Amino acid sequence: MGKEIVKSFRQDPEFKLVGTTDREDDLAKAIGASKAKVVIDFTASSVGFQNASIIIQAGAHPVIGTTGFLSDQIDELKKRCSKQKLGGIIAPNFSIGAVLLMQFSKEAAKHFPHAEIIEMHHTTKEESPSGTAMLTADLISQGRQETHPLKKYREISPHARGANHKEIAIHSVRLPGLVAHELVMFGGRGETLSLRHDTLHRECFMPGIKLACKKVLDLKQLVYGLENLL
């Protein structure tokens, strides 16, 4: 992702790439030396909160594509940005197509409350389920209506249904050859509805990242999810 982002921004005259960092570099020092207005972070969940904290403390606008943040970490970062009146974003997915799938899933849940998610990623992804799947489940939960109560099904082994988030089963697949894929299946009386998004190349994230880099300059707080900027 880092290489793809650098390549894309170097080729875009709307942006000026003032610096890049790797895991051995001093991030705070690099931000100060470059005077970067926006800092993009696509690293790993194990260092995501630390990197985001450094970016905010340096006064730069964070655009975070790293996933695996805990809810209390997101809340803390939001407080720090609000205190500094600093715009930023954490997004589980910067693909416009993936964001649309999540929005469509929220809408579908109003009519099809029974849903399961299958998310498929490359073997080097640290967390399971993915941040995209978790946010999708959150949105499905929001879309469900009380007039559509969920029927409980007997399970021989609850682990066979994957992880459970807000009464939604999430199945994670990690295999070589995959990039990022999500399938949301809804079931109703005598019919099913399937929504699927496939990331075939990481270039699909670039339009969303660039949109975020522009939009955060006008924000005074940190938002979670690209849908807040569309």
9 pLDDT more than 90: yes
CA distance 89 to 160: 35
User: In the prediction, which pLDDT does 55 show?
Assistant: 98
User: How far, rounded to the nearest angstrom, does the alpha carbon of residue 167 sit from its chain's CA centroid?
Assistant: 20
The answer on pLDDT for 215 being more than 70 is yes
* CATH dotted code for 96-199: 3.30.360.10
Task: Tell me the pLDDT band of 98, cut-offs 50, 70 and 90.
Answer: very high
**Hey, which CATH number is domain 2-90+203-228, 3.30.950.10, 3.40.50.720, 3.30.710.10, 3.40.50.2300?**
3.40.50.720
Helix 45-57 with 27-34: angle, nearest 10 deg: 40
Among 37-46, 69-78, 83-92, 137-146, whose mean pLDDT is lowest? 137-146
> Quick one: average pLDDT of 119-129?
91
Domain ranges in the chain are 2-90+203-228, 96-199
Helix axes 96-108, 206-215, angle to 10 degrees: 90
> pLDDT higher for 76 or 124?
76
- As a whole number, the mean pLDDT across the chain is 93
**Cα gap 105→140, rounded to integer Å:** 6
Report whether pLDDT(148) > 70. no
Q: In the structure, what pLDDT confidence band is assigned to residue 75 with cuts at 50, 70 and 90?
A: very high
Selected catalytic residue, list 61, 106, 114, 121 = 121
Q: Can you give the pTM of this predicted structure?
A: 0.85
pLDDT in the model for residue 153: 60
Tell me what pLDDT residue 147 has. 60
* pLDDT confidence tier of residue 126, bands split at 50, 70 and 90: confident
Tell me whether residue 125 is one of the annotated catalytic residues.
yes
Active-site residue (options: 61, 106, 114, 125): 125
Residue 61 has pLDDT above 80, yes or no: yes
In this predicted model, what pLDDT tens digit does every residue of 10-51 receive, in sequence order? 999 999 999 999 989 999 999 999 999 999 999 988 899 999
Neighbours of 3 (CB within 10 A): 9
16 belongs to the catalytic site:
no
- What b/e string do you get for 129-161 counting C-beta neighbours within 10 Å, with b at 16 or more? bbbbbbbbbbbbbebbeeeeeeeeeeeeeeeee
Q: Tell me: the pLDDT tens digits for 156-188?
A: 676 787 888 998 999 999 999 999 999 999 999
